[in-house]
Amino acid sequence: MTSPRKKQLGRSVSIVGAGMSNFGAYKEKTNRDIFVDAFMDMTEHMDNGIDISDIEAGYLGNYSADLFEGQGHTAPIVADWLGMTPTPITRIENACASSGSALREGVMAIASGLYDVVLVGGVEKMTDLPTEGVTDVLASAADGLYEVPAGFTFPGIYGALAQAHMERYETNLDHLLKVGIKNHNNGALNPKAQFNTTIKSLMERRIMRAKDRGEAIPAWSNELDFLNDDKANPWIAWPLRLYDCAPITDGGACLLLVASEIADGFTSKPIEIVGTGQATGRPLHSAEELTSLSATKYAASQAYDMAGVSPSQIDVVEVHDCFTIAEIVASEDLGFFEPGEGPRAADEGRTALSGDRPINTSGGLKAKGHPVGASGVAQVIEIYHQLRGEAGARQLPNKSPELGLTHNVGGTGGTCVVNIFRRN
């Protein structure tokens, strides 16, 4: 009964502002404080300024302030802290894809004709709980009837994906570790990253410390030596080690979206959202295969179709590397590499800043940090800066990337959001 028309937005939507808190562990701050940090960062960097009363609606991605902080109804609470009442604001939750979905809601709100200026963002305050508590809260995004009672935590689930990939494609442990090394190299160039440091520096600091303390000096001659050391880089869930896992992070991020027809009033360098896709995947326990996330493929296909572009045209990409294996799988599911080629591409440096297919120039979730509800929008912020040519030390060598893509996953592929952006 549905019409077979090609789906397109009634109005074009552009990004004209972006702000991010520092990512890290901020014991003294609440959710609302952190989001205000992000918002202030955005307002300070608006090309032509912004009055908070010009914002007509807001969408806030947040996975579970409920479980992390005991605070529900978090969007209006944050809006009140910002001084944004009576502007309507709505919390969007799709686990770690919450703010990827929040961005889409902002896009649709403007395209619908209802609003012209919309704030979208995400925030998560994770460090109030001990690590085991955080692991439990994150596990709540898996299937509570089938997966959690079977003992699956997220490292366990992604460990299973890694095992399947290793089995099927001869992926090895060093392939995984190299993704982490590359993302830390990028994170070292990102002042807001939680780990603003290379693995090499971390290794050298450890060696220095051993020397200072008169301890046995570790025989690491390079990063892979260091990362293959069970003490320096302990196993979390085989085949994943500590440095295969994104950290626990407090952070917030936001973007200002406007109808493209009025973007010029805000900046001379708006970034248009030219494609958007979202899909739902079956939970791991009944997924069709483990070496790919079906939701990524569906969401990507929608976004590519809407934008009218193919993977080879994308200049810069942020993918959801909650674990190193997740980046490899995403790089294949998004069509950048053939199935099974992702590990080799990572190994050969093709996904590095200087490679032919740069991925996670921000440092990714691995090094930049992963405040789960904020990560989707934080990815878009990196693309926004890269496309505007203002990514600083990590600006792509080709100074004029034109098309960017973000890939944000919730659960084990339960939700995937893919968005495509174009510099005009």
Task: Give the catalytic positions in this structure.
Answer: 96, 370
Nearer to a second copy, 57 or 381 (CB): 57
Total residues found in the chain within this entry? 424
Q: How far is the CB of 256 from a second copy (least distance, A)?
A: 11
**Looking only at residues 76 through 95 of this chain, which bind a second copy when binding is defined by CB under 8 A?**
76-77, 79-80, 84-95
Structural tokens at position 400: 């004029």
Nearer to a second copy, 61 or 358 (CB): 61
Whether the Cβ atoms of residue 370 and residue 123 lie closer than 8 Å to each other: no
In which element (H, E) is residue 32 found? helix 31-44
The C-alpha atoms of residue 332 and residue 86 are separated, in whole angstroms, by 44
- At 242, phi and psi to the nearest 5? -50, -45
Angle CA(69)–CA(72)–CA(75) in degrees, nearest 5? 105
Among 40, 164, 207, 262, binds a second copy (CB under 8 A): 262
8 binds a second copy (CB under 8 A): yes
Q: How far is the CB of 180 from a second copy (least distance, A)?
A: 25
Nearer to a second copy, 115 or 195 (CB): 115
Mask 98-117, x = binds a second copy (CB under 8 A)?
A: ---x--xx-xxxxxxxxxxx
Q: How far is the CB of 404 from a second copy (least distance, A)?
A: 20
Residue with tokens 């990507």: 300
201: left (phi over 0), alpha (psi -120 to 50) or beta: alpha
Whether the Cβ atoms of residue 361 and residue 314 lie closer than 8 Å to each other: no
How many residues in the shown chain lie near a second copy by CB under 8 A? 85
Nearer to a second copy, 138 or 403 (CB): 138
411 binds a second copy (CB under 8 A): yes
414 binds a second copy (CB under 8 A): yes
Residue with tokens 């944000």: 408
Q: How far is the CB of 405 from a second copy (least distance, A)?
A: 17
Per DSSP, the three-state class of 277 is strand
Q: Is the peptide bond before 76 cis (omega within 30 degrees of 0)?
A: no
Structural tokens at position 96: 């770690």
Instruction: Single out the segment in contact with a second copy by CB under 8 A; choices: 142-150, 188-196, 240-248, 315-323.
Output: 142-150
Residue with tokens 């990514």: 391
Instruction: Single out the segment in contact with a second copy by CB under 8 A; choices: 174-182, 226-234, 277-285, 378-386.
Output: 277-285
Nearer to a second copy, 74 or 395 (CB): 74
Structural tokens at position 360: 């996670």
Nearer to a second copy, 142 or 189 (CB): 142
**Looking only at residues 278 through 307 of this chain, which bind a second copy when binding is defined by CB under 8 A?**
278-283, 286, 294-295, 298-299
Q: How far is the CB of 116 from a second copy (least distance, A)?
A: 5
Nearer to a second copy, 12 or 185 (CB): 12
354 binds a second copy (CB under 8 A): no
Q: How far is the CB of 319 from a second copy (least distance, A)?
A: 19
Per DSSP, the three-state class of 29 is coil
392: left (phi over 0), alpha (psi -120 to 50) or beta: left
Q: How far is the CB of 88 from a second copy (least distance, A)?
A: 4
Instruction: Single out the segment in contact with a second copy by CB under 8 A; choices: 122-130, 210-218, 262-270, 385-393.
Output: 262-270
Q: How far is the CB of 384 from a second copy (least distance, A)?
A: 19
> Looking at beta carbons, which pairs linking 165-171 to residues 24 or more positions away fall under 8 Å?
165/290, 165/291, 165/325, 165/328, 165/329, 165/343, 166/239, 168/291, 168/340, 169/291, 169/339, 169/340, 169/343, 170/340, 170/343, 171/325, 171/328, 171/340, 171/342, 171/343
Mask 209-248, x = binds a second copy (CB under 8 A)?
A: ----------------------------------------
Per DSSP, the three-state class of 361 is coil
Q: What is the DSSP string of 206-225?
A: HHHHHHHHTPPPP---SHHH
**Looking only at residues 9 through 68 of this chain, which bind a second copy when binding is defined by CB under 8 A?**
9-11, 30, 48, 50-51, 54, 56-57, 63-64, 66-67
DSSP strand E in 103-171: where? 117-124
140 binds a second copy (CB under 8 A): yes
